[in-house]
Chains A and B, each alone.
Chain A
Amino acid sequence: MTLFPTQEVGSLRKPFWLVEGLRGKGISAVAEKELAHWSQTVPIHREPDPRAARLDPAGLPMLSPADLRDLGSLFGLRYLEKAGLDIVYDGEMRRVEMYEYPVRQATGFEFLGHVRSFDNKYYLKAACVGEVGLRAPYHVEEFQFIRDHAKGIPKVPVTGAYTLADWSWNEYYLNRQKGWKGRAERKAAQREFAVEIARKVVRPTLRALADAGAKILQIDEPAAGTHPDEADLVAETFNESTQGVDAKFVMHICFSDYRSLFPAVFEAKRCSQFLLEFANRDRGGIDGYEELQYFADVNDHREVGVGVLDIHRDEIETPELVAQRVLRAAKILKDPAKVYVNPDCGLRTRSLDVAWKKLTSMVEGTRLARSQSQ
């Protein structure tokens, strides 16, 4: 592997032709224009797959939802490869979100309704009302398609057990606690619940993905920083999820107070890389990368996926800024070989144009960092 490998993290915004095509109500002029624009840069209509030749305003209505999803996946994959990333996926083009889908593949859950995240934003939240189980491992067909088409190295993102548990209500396991359900009972039941998800939902899925040929599996734990006193549970569920599965494991955490997770999260023994957001906090005179110092202080052997792109701002990081961030991380970690380069998180909230400019700048900045690191 080259020095400072570049990698994707999560989802990209879906192209309009995919969203509108799946709605089945025709393609708008905006979608047509976008399709024409991207066919220059990411020409998937020239792929050997005969369905790709129909990727134009006349052919789109003839494509089935399954065809559209395949072509969406191919577009996301080629977009990331063309941007120059070493480690890729498909921008999660088949996925709508990261919670509801895995929960629908599991048993023992019941969706109760929408809960406000903030303002007028909501998410559908489920309660665990029975023993946790799994209908069938998920993401496998999605990965197989990418495995068969990828030119870069694929890395599969999977929502972690801790997050699935934290974003659900826990009725079944809490109800097994006798008497008043105070903090101690709630915490004990949550531990049991999260570990059950790790063993019975996430582990079989990771195993199926590994059996299908996945070499790198990224476990996403955006909820990891929610409860500082549960950092050990994040590690425990990671260990339970990955037990007996042969792959390289990455843990992605973002927008959290990392100090609340250290050192407990280092107990995630099979984790080879922590992939973290930093660029978001690197502004206004604040050194956003100072928390990397902890890795050096404890002499942790693992790689760090260093976030160099702020995913919440349209402003494009220059290659020089990216290079400076990469080299700063390498200096703090005292080992350039430990540094992987990535956006802070998925670029879904940015337009495809902005995401493209950011990613290509990241790739160029990383090349610059390599040349300056020699």
Chain B
Amino acid sequence: MLPVATGLTTFFPRSEEIVRASREFERGRRTRAELDQLTVRGEGIVTALEERLGLSWVTGGHLGVHDLFRPLVDSTEGMMTGPLTRWYETNTFYRRPVAEAPPRLNVRKLAYHLPSASGKASVILPGPWTFARLTEDRRTGAPHDLEAQLVSVLEGAIVALRNAGFAQFILHEPELVVRPPAGPAAEQLLREYSGLRAALGKSSGLVWTYFGNAGPVLPLLARLPVDGVGVDLSETRPSDLRSWTASQELGLGCLDARTSLPENPEDIAKIARELLSRLSPRGLVLGPGVPLDLLPETAAIRKLEVLGKARMLLGGHPA
């Protein structure tokens, strides 16, 4: 039977308690230490939720992270946070990464919390294409290879986090399906991913795409040297995956955080069965499509609970 993994492939929303505390922090009514303590406790609660739901890995939800790029930007010399920028077609914003000088990672500043020492800890990082495309280049007199320099930052982060105990890396690549590379840029990206593969070593690497239809870029996705590739099922119709030939794990982003309405697990199982009847992935991964932190905590939990039900319908068991 095909292995079916389920897991949190995106950030998780902060609890109402952390929302209140972070607002109080902004108003000077709480200290940074108090907020950090609450955040770590909140990540413990999310980890417990992931374990209770039988998910295949744990993340802790990355509750302390402000946006996909911030931990890397904050720990990289030569980079700074730029203007608030709309996060694709949402009412959420991120601070655009800005490279002012050749970026150099300072691993001691990397602030990801290991959610569990169980060997099932997973961490979310930006993929190289998205990182490069959404970074503003303000370097002067620097070589024109920002993308390669950002890949070095990613490689350094992966090695450091692997050494810290993370076993799985989920690389977010919305830009790969919204504004995909073509021609030489695609070939360069494949070379960069080969470098990342080396940094990953025996750890698992999952590329997660969303906000766009993965159909047109399937040939490129199939060539990525990673363990699995995820697609946003709200943007990618099952028929768009017709030409999927890859042997990687197929990730189905089947929880849509653009709506608070919980998905029907039977719908998810039906789509998965239909896809498996004609595709031959190495395994199946079920997770949120777009980041779950577009929802409040209660709605996100309701959605996450659907994953286990869908897995059961597919005959899978907790990994």
Contacts and interface: CB of A to CB of B under 8 A. Distances in A.
Contact of A112 (B91, B93, B260): B260
A336 to B, nearest CB: 33
B233 A120 contact: no
B67 interface: yes
Given A127-B260, A175-B261, A116 B92 contact: yes
Interface in B105-147: none
Contacts of A227: 89
A283 interface: no
B14 A116 contact: yes
B278 interface: no
Contact of B267 (A119, A179, A223): A179
A151 interface: no
A113 B234 CA distance: 23
A228 B270 CA distance: 32
A186 B271 CA distance: 17
Interface string A313-347: 00000000000000000000000000000000000
Contacts of B293: 115-116
Contacts of A113: 16, 296-299
B259 A181 contact: yes
Interface string B289-310: 0000111111100000000000
Contacts of A122: 19, 23
A41 B298 CA distance: 49
A125 interface: yes
B25 A120 contact: yes
A364 to B, nearest CB: 30
B94 interface: yes
Interface in B204-227: none
Contact of B259 (A119, A121, A170, A226): A170
Interface in B78-92: 84, 86, 89-92
Contacts of B67: 118
Contacts of B19: 114, 116, 122
Contacts of A258: none
Contacts of B259: 169-171, 174, 181, 186
Contacts of A116: 13-14, 19, 92, 293
B298 A118 contact: no
Contacts of A121: 26
B242 interface: no
A112 B296 contact: yes
Nearest to A125: B296
A179 B234 CA distance: 12
Contact of B23 (A120, A127, A174): A120
Nearest to A170: B259
Nearest to B22: A120
B84 A118 contact: yes
Contacts of A299: none
Contact of A186 (B94, B234, B270): B234
A132 B201 CA distance: 54
A122 B256 CA distance: 20
B255 to A, nearest CB: 11
A186 B67 CA distance: 26
A112 B86 contact: no
Interface string A153-172: 00000000000001101110
B296 A171 contact: no
A184 to B, nearest CB: 8
Given A115-B295, A171-B261, A120 B91 contact: no
Given A119-B66, A122-B19, A166-B91, A183 B260 contact: no
Contact of A182 (B14, B234, B296): B234
A117 interface: yes
A174 B261 CA distance: 8
B92 A118 contact: yes
Contacts of B25: 120
Contacts of B234: 181-183, 186
B26 A183 contact: no
Given A112-B295, A182-B235, A186-B256, 16 more contacts: A112-B296, A114-B16, A115-B296, A116-B13, A116-B92, A117-B93, A118-B95, A120-B25, A122-B19, A166-B91, A170-B259, A170-B261, A180-B267, A180-B270, A186-B234, A228-B89
| A-B pairs, 9 with minimum CB distance | A113-B296, A169-B260, A120-B22, A118-B93, A171-B261, A114-B19, A127-B260, A180-B267, A119-B66
26 contacts: A113-B296, A113-B298, A113-B299, A114-B16, A115-B92, A115-B294, A115-B296, A116-B13, A116-B92, A117-B91, A118-B67, A118-B95, A120-B23, A120-B25, A120-B26, A121-B26, A169-B260, A169-B261, A169-B299, A170-B261, A171-B261, A174-B261, A182-B233, A182-B235, A186-B259, A226-B90
Interface of A: 112-122, 125, 127, 166-167, 169-171, 174-175, 179-183, 186, 223, 226-228
